[in-house]
Amino acid sequence: MVKIHILGGSGSGKTTLAESLSSRFEIPHYDLDQITMKINQLGLDDRARHAAYIEQAFALAEQPGLVTEGHFLIWTEPLLYHADCIVVLNVSWPVAAWRIVARHVSKSLRRINPYPTKVLLPFLKNVRKYYVNIDSYAPFTNAFLRDCLEKYKDGGNVLDEGFLLMGMEKYGMLSIFYTADFLMKYLERYKEKVFVVKKNDDRERLFEQLTNR
């Protein structure tokens, strides 16, 4: 069995790819957005909520095979560490924007959209920063990267729940608000198992590589 973790900005195709991989390799698929939403509905304070995220990541990482997908960092370290393959979806901003709008309209027409139309434009503005690498928190993200690279070198502390919780308390907002460039720097220590998908040919090569592993 294989463990796969998928990363990428909103509209990059994470869920579509995860569903295909889940079907092809007969492994369960977990959408981390759904997991965090359920935890957020419990009304926990920030520390307890972050601890619950981390607990879920460790529980998922113990499974013999799965595909997980989401736009989160820090608390997802167990998933990155135990993954056989980390997939980063890299599409252009116009493609991602079109997909986000199309998805929003489709869900609204089917009356299953949990988000009102008024939040669409602010959401697009935030997501665009990821794709075009506008770092609104540059001093903060740079400090975080230095901290991570120092603490995580040689694999140290990656699976320390206390360390991950401290990271969430100090840098929690960067679990979501980061750029595409930042993501690749963050994943540098896992580069041997990172697979970047930019087009359909890459997607086919990914399936072939996972099939032959």
Binned at pLDDT 50, 70 and 90, residue 153 comes out as: low
pLDDT of the residue at 111? 86
Q: What is the pLDDT of residues 42-74, one digit of tens each?
A: 999 999 999 999 999 999 999 999 999 999 999
Q: What is the pLDDT of residue 213?
A: 80
Backbone region of residue 202 per phi and psi (left: phi > 0; alpha: psi in -120 to 50; beta: other values): alpha
- Interval 11-51: pLDDT, tens: 999 999 999 999 999 999 999 999 999 999 999 999 999 99
pLDDT averaged over every residue in the chain: 91
The topology (CATH level 3) of 3-92+122-212 is: Rossmann fold (3.40.50)
pTM above 0.95, yes or no: no
> Is the pLDDT reported for residue 77 higher than 90?
yes
Q: Which residues, 6+ apart, have CB-to-CB distance to 167 below 8 Å?
A: 74, 75, 148
